[in-house]
Chain A
């Protein structure tokens, strides 16, 4: 049953471009399913609280503070934890002193990088105890259990390799013999090596392009398109070519991930 969301459904012509500090489509969809949805949405605009997703598991509270304090005075940071292991699982809530500061964070910091991850930020009606835990089966976020691609900063592969490739290559599968299962840090290192090789290979071209100029400051992201996270995985013989390259899969994954931050 979809319900009406009053002012949130209204078409407005007061701005020539859309505002970034509006509830995300995920929040709106959730609000439609929820009898108190409209109330929650209204609360989220004045709550001083934001939800931050797609964090690296390694990102610390202090790093979050360093970045988010540029938008206002932070009252409290609540790290999202794996509900079994009590380790960070890639999201957090930040409570600011004023609602305005929370809206600022949504406007200004969404989609910026923290520890190489493009963080996602959403409005939030306010933190309640219990919401700091992941809701996935394994204790982390649901999205990490559904994701198909390798992500070193968020626990590597969720599904064991053998299971991932089994249906495609028909090699038994299903009995968990994945060569790259577990050992997150080890995978991380391998992953890094892949990156390094790419940089090495790519370096000369960078030099050619920019070295002759006075102003040859070029951030490595200038080559961003070449460092696809998937390229490394591909050479690791793990992932079939067409599966990971889909940028379109990203939004879907994000939605799932956000899905995990409300307690049942």
Chain B
């Protein structure tokens, strides 16, 4: 203050100076209530993050709320909105918020009641809105029924200030509702019923958070509730094979979440709630005595079963977590129990704590998807909100944990990192589809790793190894997701990986084309190369055995050479020319090279200066050289396509520009050629891929541009991708081809909705591929094709038996691809189920294959 005064005096002395002072806008004055909210709400949002100030926070915040609440609507609304945001977005903080509310209630019951009413109303609103069509949910919206779960959990925490009967009535209503939904059809699973059942019973232990076992009346009511639901709720087990993460042998037992839910709760409530005492914080000292208990103003009103029937399948758009219930929720594991010794590193899902932590991590990840950095921070703070000693020290290695465990078998071996990463991986590997774009999960994991690389990186390393070890039986689509995640992780961490571990496999199967591990390693290196300009960095990270994967040719250069050669009668195509990413027809020693140059100049011309007659003139000039060309029509297609692709070779944008500019001219010329349309489209695609043989990803993206320009059809692209040449089908081994198939089919959903021809075509082609594979394997019609055991103790000689092994891998990859397609595009395949079922006998003769396909086809309507 005094400083400012002095300056003013000084300014006064120099009158003129005042005028030239920069005009600083006046600071905006905000109303005191807004200022108060700006200071208080962030404190509420971060409550409990620091255990040291927690008690003080509760004291000061509750006092401030008691004195401010009820005076101004702005404050009331801000406070309630903040409470709701924390309850829904950071469920681990619910007990802390509940404690704050009860501290407020002890000081002023009217405020306590207002908060209670607010949350009950929110719960009611969710129930009501679940039967209304409100359009697709926001990406951070977890869905009405998941919110019901979270509100109910919060109300349960407030049990010391609520009349027991009232809160139990809410449970009863929800569980009765779940039973009713479940009983609609005895044979069919009801998604919503399973969600409500599991969600509701998961909350029961929270009734005792601040009561522990001292309320016998409540305990009796809960026991009644549990025994009633156990008697009335019929668990329906669904073993949908299309949704299995592993094809042949799963490395772990497959369990459904719904099957473990009730036993978990019962165990938690048993033995004087021992498990809960070890799990929940003991904050009873901070809890002031509650005055008379409140009741809810109304009973919970649930929508009618009829109103809900449209929404009870929890299909897409309902909200991220609710949607996870659409298909049966199978438990996903990465860090297997006993994998690293005689102990678990992840709290088993068959315990209440394991299920609860999994639930909380998924809720945080899904509801805070708009701020992944905060998700990473909150996950690391998770232990602050639970009893000490549940987890081992952050960052302890497996070896350290094993040592501690040996000394003291009662010490915790659970790693928070393992639990969190496993839960997030379960979201990445969720079948049939993921709840958020892959990018979110990948970068979230990168952020988590960056926040504490020493602790997290080894956890990732163990996951990489686990998937790699089981890649032979891992679902075909999940292999691509694994590859994608791995490459993003690598590119964010300088591509460092201990490749040496995989060297033995790489040597053993170095000649293989279909071995899943080789396919994985090859695609990984290529993906890494596509993610960086600094290829030398990738090169430097690879041991000698893997360097050959740095060569990115789509097909061997010799094949490209032969392909080019097929157009010439005399001219000899050199291998080194064919291997280059350049226009081969402009080689100086090609007799008609000047005409090709004219063509390039023509393509380079501005849109308004090109005349198609000029183009036709160039082609006519070229016709004079027809003697040197085997098939002039085919050659024109190849030449024109490659010239356009060559002119646009600088970048994808350039390619797009030239294709868009010249599409009409190309169409006009191509239509005049006497050629079968299908063969022509095939040739166009071949031309692009021959030019871009060193980078098939770019090649296929250019083919996409040609598709949008209507020069090639989606069917032609699919046909090209599924071709088999020299016993090699790239659709089973090259990620750029696999991606192209998925991309083409997915785009068809937008452009040709309702037309399922392409889907039928792909399925048929796959069936033919399976036929060829079984024939090549020489199995009888009833003989099973068994994946070879390639573990260290196996006696299979990988060199002599490679041809047979190749066919087996090819067969299983094809089958895996079919499984993935049927699952991913199930809405499109549903209408084809009957046709496929009836026609299967005529197409696939190998019995086990036929049975497998029929089984999956039969499951399509359930997805």
Contacts and interface: CB of A to CB of B under 8 A. Distances in A.
A145 B126 CA distance: 55
B534 A65 contact: no
Contacts of B534: 58, 115-116
A213 B369 contact: no
Interface in A92-121: 100, 104-105, 107-109, 112-116
Contact of B78 (A13, A108, A212): A13
Interface in B457-508: 457-462, 464, 484, 488-494, 496-498
Nearest to B457: A218
Contact of B25 (A2, A56, A78, A108): A2
A2 B489 CA distance: 43
A1 B23 CA distance: 10
B228 to A, nearest CB: 36
A21 interface: yes
Of A62, A76, A115, most buried by chain B (CB within 10 Å of CB) is A62
Contacts of B82: 13, 16
Contact of B399 (A20, A78, A213): A213
Contacts of A105: 439
B370 interface: yes
Interface string B520-551: 00000001001111100000000000000000
Contacts of A220: 493-494, 496
Given A17-B371, A112-B492, A214 B399 contact: yes
B64 interface: no
A186 interface: no
Interface string B576-615: 0000000000000000000000000000000000000000
A193 interface: no
Contacts of A56: 533
Contacts of A109: 439, 443
Contact of A14 (B85, B446, B464, B651): B85
A6 interface: no
B34 interface: yes
Nearest to A13: B81
A185 interface: no
A192 to B, nearest CB: 8
Given A58-B533, A107-B369, A215 B652 contact: no
Of A71, A77, A215, most buried by chain B (CB within 10 Å of CB) is A215
B45 interface: yes
A13 B34 CA distance: 11
A115 B442 CA distance: 17
B493 A219 contact: yes
Contacts of B533: 56, 58-60, 63, 115
A85 interface: no
Interface in A19-74: 19-21, 56, 58-63, 65-67, 70-73
A112 B437 CA distance: 15
Contacts, number: 171
Contacts of B450: 221, 224
Nearest to B493: A219
Interface residues of B, number: 70
B199 interface: no
Contacts of B489: 219
A85 to B, nearest CB: 14
A226 B41 CA distance: 38
A216 interface: yes
Contacts of B371: 17-20, 107
A19 B368 CA distance: 9
Interface string B646-674: 00000111001000000000000000000
Nearest to A18: B371
A252 to B, nearest CB: 19
Of A19, A73, A112, A220, most buried by chain B (CB within 10 Å of CB) is A112
A13 B493 contact: no
B688 to A, nearest CB: 15
Given A18-B371, A218-B496, 17 more contacts: A13-B77, A14-B81, A16-B85, A17-B374, A62-B698, A65-B652, A108-B440, A112-B443, A113-B446, A115-B532, A215-B397, A215-B398, A215-B461, A219-B489, A221-B453, A221-B492, A224-B453
Interface of B: 25, 34, 37-38, 41, 45, 77-78, 81-82, 85-86, 89-90, 139, 340, 368-374, 397-399, 437-440, 442-443, 446, 449-450, 453-454, 457-462, 464, 484, 488-494, 496-498, 527, 530-534, 651-653, 656, 695, 697-698, 701, 747
Interface of A: 1-2, 11, 13-21, 56, 58-63, 65-67, 70-73, 76-79, 100, 104-105, 107-109, 112-116, 209-210, 212-222, 224
The 9 closest A-B pairs by CB, nearest first: A217-B461, A219-B493, A215-B458, A222-B453, A13-B81, A70-B439, A58-B533, A16-B85, A220-B494
24 contacts: A13-B81, A15-B85, A15-B89, A17-B45, A18-B371, A20-B373, A60-B533, A63-B530, A67-B531, A70-B439, A71-B439, A76-B653, A104-B139, A107-B369, A113-B491, A113-B492, A114-B531, A213-B399, A214-B397, A217-B461, A217-B497, A218-B457, A218-B458, A221-B493
